[in-house]
């Protein structure tokens, strides 16, 4: 398998927002910003993230539209930000006609020591192989070889001697983007944040989609180091690519008002967050695609102790070569095949 080159970005930057205690007489925006700060400053958190889309269009056939509407990307995240250890269970579900595919890929990234380490599980890697074969029309129902059942697989991480420098530059760029994101939210009109009349713990805010797109590209252009470590991406190429992408979005994509609904727990901490991004895609033939992107986040804990599921004891870790050898032996043993 190809070596994986990881890019050290805080997983906390992906999850976005949270909430803190509701202050007496505080505005909805005040409570939201306190919530945002709580998550960004958290040493640990657990969150379940789910992304999906609703598509309506005559451009695609029925099966293609059905597949897009039935595709769900899920990530169950446990993140120890203080020690730079992160467990992510990535799930992908899609269906088209009579075909269903469900992939579950647990990963563990450990940057707590001198070397960056990346792990998966033998069961998770076999699930990926089995799902891809089924998608290609070769259902195998592969079982994990007994010799490696329950083991953790250490995956090779590419080290070109520049990882430390890239990490520092990218860490700074990530922090800058997070700070700019906070400023963007803080500078929004107070009236954009509202409380539900029947539920004081529900806060909704909305912002023009074009404003969001402009702010996003401004942040990326101000912080090109965020792309450090990405092959063929130097500062000049980044400027050109971002400019080209921005022009194409302006020409072919209309982003409507982005709405986010936040629900707080009784103690004011974040319970759930739901973001909706409606847009219309146009092409040169005058055809359109109506699409709404959904991102739902459920916060299970903030600043609580974590219990990672990966067993990283020395006798439970195997190398990628050992995994491949066990699989090869299994494929060559007719008694082990379905």
Q: If you average pLDDT over residues 240-258, what whole number do you get?
A: 91
Secondary structure element (H or E) that encloses residue 178, with its range? helix 163-186
Residue 17: predicted pLDDT: 35
| Choice between 38 and 162, residue whose per-residue pLDDT is larger | 38
In this predicted structure, the answer to whether residue 22 has a pLDDT above a threshold of 50 is: no
Residue 285: predicted pLDDT: 87
Residue 12: predicted pLDDT: 45
CA–CA gap between residue 104 and residue 125 (Å, rounded): 9
Residue 38: predicted pLDDT: 93
Q: If you average pLDDT over residues 139-145, what whole number do you get?
A: 78
Sequence-distant (6+) residues with CB within 8 A of 319 are 153, 154
Q: What is the phi/psi pair of residue 259, to 5°?
A: -120, 135
In this predicted structure, the answer to whether residue 220 has a pLDDT above a threshold of 80 is: yes
CA–CA gap between residue 260 and residue 276 (Å, rounded): 6
Give the Cβ contact number of residue 280 at 10 Å.
14
In this predicted structure, the answer to whether residue 11 has a pLDDT above a threshold of 60 is: no
User: What is the DSSP secondary-structure string of 81-149?
Assistant: TTTTEEEEEEEEEEEETTEEEEEEEEEEEE-SSSS-EEEEEHHHHHHHHHHHHHHTT--------GGGT
Instruction: Grade residue 236 by pLDDT with cuts at 50, 70 and 90.
Output: low
Secondary structure element (H or E) that encloses residue 202, with its range? strand 199-207
Q: If you average pLDDT over residues 113-142, what whole number do you get?
A: 83
Residue 19: predicted pLDDT: 34
Residue 21: predicted pLDDT: 31
In this predicted structure, the answer to whether residue 3 has a pLDDT above a threshold of 70 is: no
| Choice between 266 and 306, residue whose per-residue pLDDT is larger | 306
Least confident of 16-30, 249-263, 297-311, 320-334: 16-30
In this predicted structure, the answer to whether residue 297 has a pLDDT above a threshold of 80 is: yes
| Choice between 9 and 195, residue whose per-residue pLDDT is larger | 195
Residue 208: predicted pLDDT: 95
Q: Indicate the domain borders of the chain.
A: 12-116+157-307
Rounded to 5°, the CA angle 306-229-118 comes to: 35
């Amino acid at each position: 398998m190809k070596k994986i080159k990881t890019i050290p970005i805080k997983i906390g930057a992906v999850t976005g927002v949270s909430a803190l205690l509701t202050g007496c007489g505080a505005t909805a925006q005040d409570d939201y910003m306190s919530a945002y700060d709580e998550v960004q400053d958290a040493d640990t958190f657990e969150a379940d993230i789910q992304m999906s889309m609703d598509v309506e269009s005559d451009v695609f056939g029925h099966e293609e539209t059905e597949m897009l509407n039935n595709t769900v990307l899920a990530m169950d995240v446990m993140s120890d930000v203080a020690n730079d250890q992160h467990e992510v269970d990535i799930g992908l579900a899609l269906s088209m006609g009579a075909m269903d595919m469900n992939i579950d890929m647990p990963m563990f990234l450990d940057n707590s020591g001198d070397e960056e380490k990346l792990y998966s599980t033998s069961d998770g890697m076999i699930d990926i192989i089995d799902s891809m074969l089924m998608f290609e029309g070769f259902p195998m129902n592969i079982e994990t070889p007994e010799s490696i059942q329950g083991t953790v697989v250490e995956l090779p991480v590419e080290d070109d001697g520049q990882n430390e420098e890239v990490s520092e530059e990218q860490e700074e760029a990530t922090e800058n983007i997070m700070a700019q994101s906070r400023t963007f939210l803080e500078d929004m009109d107070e009236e954009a944040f509202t409380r539900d009349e029947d539920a004081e713990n529900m806060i909704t805010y909305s912002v023009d989609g074009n404003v969001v797109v402009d702010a996003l590209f401004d942040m990326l252009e101000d912080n090109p180091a965020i792309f450090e470590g990405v092959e063929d991406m130097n500062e000049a190429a980044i400027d050109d690519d971002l400019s080209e992408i921005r022009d194409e979005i302006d020409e072919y994509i209309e982003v409507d008002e982005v709405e986010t609904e936040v629900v707080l727990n009784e103690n004011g901490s974040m319970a759930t967050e739901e973001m909706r991004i409606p847009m219309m895609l146009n092409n040169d033939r005058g055809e359109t695609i109506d699409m709404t992107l959904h991102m739902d986040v459920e916060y299970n804990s903030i600043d609580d102790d974590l219990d990672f599921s990966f067993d990283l004891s020395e006798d439970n870790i195997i190398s990628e070569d050992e995994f491949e050898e066990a699989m090869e032996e299994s494929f060559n043993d007719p008694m082990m095949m379905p």
